[in-house]
Chains A and B, each alone.
Chain A
Amino acid sequence: MIVRFFAGKVSVKIKIAIICLIAQFFLVGIALSQPPTDSVIIDTLRTPPPDVTPVMVKSVVAKDNPNDDGRAVIISWDLSVDDHAGGKVTSYKIYRSEKRGGIFAEIGEAPSGSDQMMDNNVTRDEEYYYKVSAINELKEGGKTIWQVSSESDVVGPAKAVAQWFDTRRLNVFVGMIILCGLIIYYINQAKSGKKLFIRKISGLDAVDEAVGRATEMGKKIFFIPGISDVDNVQTIAGLTILGRVAQLAAEYETWIEVPVSRSLVMVTAKEIVKEAYSKAGRPDAFHEDQVHYLTDDQFGYAAGIDGMFVREKPATVFLLGNFYAESLILSETGNSIGAIQIAGTGQPSQLPFFVAACDYTLIGEELFAASAYLSREPKLLGSLKGQDIGKAIILAAILVGSLLETFNIFQLSKFFRVLE
């Protein structure tokens, strides 16, 4: 009869309806035959099969996330014993309430295998209660077929507190104290009259020669302090050298011209050159328009200087400061008019052009050392010495650390780790 029923002419819809009816009886039967548990069945499309409810998680802990400004609570738990490959846990859900017996709202979900979650949507110094629910669910085609869960005990209160010191950054702090301490120590040493040696930097030794050459040829000197503003340390380094160069030029009675691209740099450079002229004992020889503003625009500035180079054919050109793409235009034009060029920048990508097209190049750190080298002022020399001792420590660390790591004795590198 059953066979006939399925093969017969009864409409398809009725067949499906009858099948569904029978299936429903089956499912209800399964559901009723289950032993009662503390599981909560949410949003079930179908009744779950028996014995799928996971064991609840234990030792839930909610505590303040350390080393922050009080914006997160970390909730951690021991994995449910059913959480293993092929186990009965598919994910964990975390619930939060402001009262122990209050209404708990879901704040996040973590995949199975994870034993902690960060709640970063909290108000500082506010108390919260948490519970974690182990979930087992079956999904097909993005739809939940069934879902069962078991909840942990409520824990709390936990609150997010702000800390006064980020302990993860202790190593940076110590390192910085050492480096800055060394620099300050040697500055004081130098102030108290201790002689400090500084090696030859050929680019800087050439400054006198370069200024002298311009004097002999009766031509101008150009000083280009780069295109950055005074808030850039490189610009400041360049301007310090300008003081020295301008003084030399004043002594040799040679015209020095400083075209700049920032109004603040213009004001600063003007005062520096003025000061240099009075130091050289020729304050009346200073002209306001020796330092002049061209334009803020990078290429406008480069094009303007190019024009001046070609027209006035200076004997000596200084390019000291922060340079970008214009370094090539400037140094190539300077080279083509046959000027002695002394260049320096901390921009690694622009240094090749200077090295190739200029007579002397201050590479990276040498630019920052220049002010000390030229002025021989004890304070500056002292800071340079401090910097060098810092470097020596780094070198020692590299040497010792590499060997230790190679022979797997000790990982020195972890003292330098900043990545979280």
Chain B
Amino acid sequence: MKRDMLIYSAILIIALLLYFAVPKPIAFSPTVSYIVIVLIAVALIYIFIRTIQGKYVGRRIVFLFVGIAVVLPFFMTVTQPIRLSPEVKMVYDAIMKLKPGSKVLASFDYDPPSAPELQPMAETFFRLCIERDLKVIIMGLWPQGPQQAEMALRKTMTFPEAASKNYKYGVDYVNLGFQTGNEFVIQRMGSDFKSMFPNDYYGTPYDSLPLVRNVKNFSNIDYSFNLSAGYPGTVEWVQVAVDRYGLQMGTGNTAVQATSMYPYLRAGQLIGLLGGLNGAAEFEKACNKLGKGTKFMVSQSFSHVIVIAFIIIGNAAFFLGEKKKREKE
């Protein structure tokens, strides 16, 4: 207990120091960045040798490496080329094809834990919609979804090119809010939006919102974009809105979910897919609006390399161990 308290105080002091005393922002020069990379590599080789000798390093060392691989790249000045994949291009093309004034339905089906992956997509999506003068109808099948949408919009409006468009609530975009009922909500929206959203996020009656007054169901929607982190999400949208009501839909998914979307993508049920942070970065590149997705990709690269390194180390040790065992026998 006493030791815990000591550690806690140490953490507090470090935090205070970092908060008040350290000059900010910190950025490593390229040279320093490369030295850091080399040091990490050397440490990995050391672990490799230890593991081959049969001494597995503890969980905490592995954890530490992951932490380092994620945090240090924030301060590095390293750039990496990003290649555009076809499924991301499809989303971009679909939005670019819409005429100004087209109505886009955006369903936010995620909560804050998945925000790091999906929030950059949401921001880029709003920026693109505003640039193209599209009308956006926001809703959510997850209770926290509409809040995430509000956050993304606030962020979007800080960009001068978006702020200058003077987007008006009710006319250019609305937030219908959240409704419980999962796929049933989608099903009923198929006949009538208003029955599911009698009031919007702010309690305004549906009919007093000029943008949606004449929107009855999916047939009045030109394109739909769904950001999804699980159930209910893209699968339900595809099964109900796309298959039954013929909605045109693109989607942004967490990477975990993205793999299960490929069959739908190939089947043409989905028009475009942004998968995980990588999808977000590519989308930013396609729209030429660099944001957090691109920035985070450096950390992402590093962390993947670390995981791959650990798989290789673990397996190498495993095979050498097997060999030794067989030699003994």
Contacts and interface: CB of A to CB of B under 8 A. Distances in A.
A371 to B, nearest CB: 24
B260 to A, nearest CB: 6
Given A349-B259, A419-B269, A120 B246 contact: no
B191 A69 contact: yes
Contact of B257 (A69, A71, A121, A349): A349
Interface string A291-333: 0000000000000000000000000000000001100000000
B219 A120 contact: yes
Interface residues of B, number: 16
A348 interface: yes
Contacts of A419: 242-243, 246, 268-269
Q: Size range of the interface on A? A: 10 to 19
Interface of A: 69, 71, 118, 120-121, 324-325, 348-349, 418-420
Nearest to B255: A349
A420 B259 contact: no
Given A348-B260, A349-B256, A420 B244 contact: yes
Interface string B257-276: 10110000000110000000
B246 A420 contact: yes
Given A120-B216, A418-B243, 12 more contacts: A69-B191, A71-B191, A120-B217, A121-B216, A324-B230, A325-B256, A348-B259, A348-B260, A349-B256, A419-B246, A419-B269, A420-B245
A348 B257 CA distance: 9
Nearest to B242: A419
Nearest to A72: B219
14 contacts: A71-B191, A118-B219, A120-B217, A120-B219, A121-B216, A324-B230, A348-B259, A348-B260, A349-B259, A418-B243, A419-B242, A419-B268, A419-B269, A420-B244
A143 B191 CA distance: 35
A69 B188 CA distance: 13
Contacts of B269: 419
A296 to B, nearest CB: 15
By secondary structure, the B interface counts as: helix
Interface residues of chain A: helix, strand, loop or mixed (majority): loop
A332 B188 CA distance: 42
Top 9 nearest A-B pairs (CB, nearest first) are: A420-B246, A349-B256, A418-B243, A348-B260, A120-B216, A419-B243, A349-B260, A120-B219, A349-B259
A364 to B, nearest CB: 12
Nearest to B254: A349
A69 B269 CA distance: 25
Contacts of B245: 420
B69 to A, nearest CB: 19
Nearest to B243: A418
A420 B268 CA distance: 12
Nearest to A121: B216
Nearest to A418: B243
Nearest to A169: B244
A371 B226 CA distance: 37
Contacts of B219: 118, 120
Contacts of A121: 216
A242 B195 CA distance: 42
A121 B220 CA distance: 12
A334 to B, nearest CB: 15
B177 to A, nearest CB: 24
Nearest to A356: B311
A420 B246 CA distance: 6
Nearest to A118: B219
Contacts of B242: 419
A338 to B, nearest CB: 14
Interface in B39-78: none
B210 to A, nearest CB: 16
Nearest to B267: A419
Contacts of A349: 256-257, 259-260
Contacts of B268: 419
Nearest to A352: B259
A420 B269 CA distance: 11
A350 to B, nearest CB: 9
B116 to A, nearest CB: 14
